[in-house]
């Protein structure tokens, strides 16, 4: 932790914190002009899940009450436990989660091209400081702007990656639309193209393939169960049951499994700590 590598990471972190500015970033459209969030009115279903305004979306927002969580299958010495958080968790007591055996965390950084998590610094840095391997995620709204635009926004507001053994590649959260049409008004082909645009932009900037968070139902409905990413991008599957079940998109295996939201979104990495570190290092 006190190596030259850590020192370099600290300098990078300092530059990042200086650059993120106000917690709520100004919206930016693909053309670089401010965009309005007035159209992002949560659906009645989204409001039932605690999404009251633009920016409130979070990983698995439809999962936490539409599906009952069941005890997850344990695989001793072959998995690593972690959590994901957003602004809904506020300031997190990271020491307590570390003591409870959570060794990695993903933190929501951005949504669309109009929102940044006001608790991001506390959550992202706090998880790192207790020893966790941590990463950030972006909640996609493909009807707002291009995949390249949102990847760029994500990268500018906490979505970057550094090879320090403690930072996971940024993840793309692509799932049900809390503000309107399930598939954001896009055809399956257009959705696949949007995801590819995001993934290609992120990789061009970081050298990393972005993990994709989704679930079987949404992926099948909105991408036609596309197999375009199953050999390049790690799968983070949401399935609140006793096993991950049938995987979307022809992925041969999952990398992370989100298996419950009680009492907080809980995830299991499909490998031991050495493999999680390998994912962090790229």
Note if 31 is an active site residue: no
Judging by beta carbons within 10 Å of its beta carbon (0-12, 13-18, 19+), is residue 123 exposed, middle or buried? buried
3-state secondary structure of 245: coil
Note if 175 is an active site residue: yes
Catalytic option among 56, 84, 144, 265? 84
Catalytic option among 56, 111, 144, 173? 173
Assess contact for 81 and 268: CB atoms under 8 A.
yes
Assess contact for 133 and 246: CB atoms under 8 A.
no
Nearest to 134 by CA among 171, 101, 167: 167
With b for 16 or more beta-carbon neighbours within 10 A and e for fewer, the 261-272 pattern comes to beebbbbbbbbe
Catalytic option among 111, 144, 164, 175? 175
Q: Name the token pair of 2.
A: 């006190």
Residue with tokens 């990393």: 208
Residues 6+ apart with CB under 8 A from 121: 17, 20
Supply the residues annotated as catalytic.
Answer: 84, 173, 175
């Amino acid at each position: 932790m006190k190596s030259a590598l850590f020192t370099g990471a600290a300098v990078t972190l300092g530059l990042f914190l200086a650059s993120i500015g106000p917690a709520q970033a100004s919206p930016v459209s693909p053309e670089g002009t401010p965009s309005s969030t007035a159209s992002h009115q949560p659906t009645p279903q989204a409001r039932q899940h605690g999404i009251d305004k633009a920016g409130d979306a979070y990983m698995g927002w439809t999962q936490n009450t539409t599906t009952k969580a069941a005890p997850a299958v344990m695989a001793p010495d072959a998995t690593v436990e972690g959590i994901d958080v957003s602004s809904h968790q506020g300031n997190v007591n990271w020491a307590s989660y570390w003591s409870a055996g959570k060794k990695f965390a993903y933190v929501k950084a951005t949504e669309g091209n109009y929102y940044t998590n006001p608790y991001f610094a506390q959550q992202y840095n706090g998880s790192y400081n207790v020893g966790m391997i941590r990463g950030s995620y972006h909640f996609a709204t493909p009807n707002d702007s291009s995949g390249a635009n949102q990847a760029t926004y994500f990268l500018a507001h906490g979505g970057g990656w550094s090879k320090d053994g403690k930072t996971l590649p940024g993840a793309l959260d692509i799932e049900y639309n809390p503000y309107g049409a399930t598939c954001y008004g896009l055809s399956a082909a257009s959705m696949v193209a949007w995801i590819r645009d995001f993934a290609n932009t992120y990789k061009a900037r970081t050298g990393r393939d972005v993990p994709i968070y989704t679930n079987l139902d949404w992926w099948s409905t909105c991408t036609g169960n596309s197999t375009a990413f199953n050999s390049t991008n790690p799968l983070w599957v949401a399935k609140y049951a006793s096993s991950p079940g049938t995987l979307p998109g022809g992925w041969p295996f999952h990398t992370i499994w989100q298996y419950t939201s009680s009492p907080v979104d809980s995830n299991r990495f499909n490998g031991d700590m050495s493999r999680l570190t390998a994912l962090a290092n790229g």
